[in-house]
Structure 1
C-alpha cells in the first residue's frame, strides 16, 4: 500500500483521566484503542507507531517529526 493511501488519525476520544480511548480515522472509521493498536502494528495507519512503555504495555504515539502540532494529544475530540 502506498503511504498516502493509508488512513490517518484525525480525532480522538479521551476518558476522564485524559487517556486516549479511541480514534477516528481519515475515512471516518472509529477504532477503539486496542483495535487501533493492532492496525498501527500492521502498518495500516500512517503517521503513528507503537512503542513499549516502562510498564511493559504497548502504546500508540505519533511519529517523531519535530512538529508538536500533530501530536496525538493535539487531535480534536469527537
Structure 2
C-alpha cells in the first residue's frame, strides 16, 4: 500500500497534489478518492461543514502535512 511522502502547495498554501511512496504524483481529489477506497496508508478522511472530505495525516505528531517535504 502506498503512503504520502511529499506535498505540493499553491501560492495560498493549500495542498494541491501529493507524491506517493511509489513516486506517483496525484491531485488532492485523487488522493481523497484513493484514501476512501483504502488504497493510501497513513491518512484519515474527515468531512467538513460543506459535506466535502478532507485528507489528513493519521500520524498525530504531524499536523496536516506541515512537516512533509515539497515535491518541487
TM-score (norm 2): 0.88
Is 1:66 aligned to residue 60 of structure 2? Answer: yes
Post-superposition Cα deviations, 1:23-62, rounded to whole Å, max 9, x if no partner, equal: 0000100001111110000011100011101232210001
Equivalent residue number for residue 8 of structure 1:
3
- Secondary structure of the corresponding residue to residue 19 of structure 2: strand
- What RMSD in Å do the two structures reach over aligned CA positions? 1.5
Shift >4 Å, 4+ stretches:
none
Question: Larger % of helix: which?
Answer: 1
Considering only CA atoms, is the larger Rg found in Structure 1 or Structure 2? 1
Matched, 1:32 2:34: no
Counting matched residue pairs gives: 71
Q: Which has the higher strand share?
A: 2
Q: Does 1:77 align with 2:70?
A: yes
Gaps of 5+ in 1: 1-5
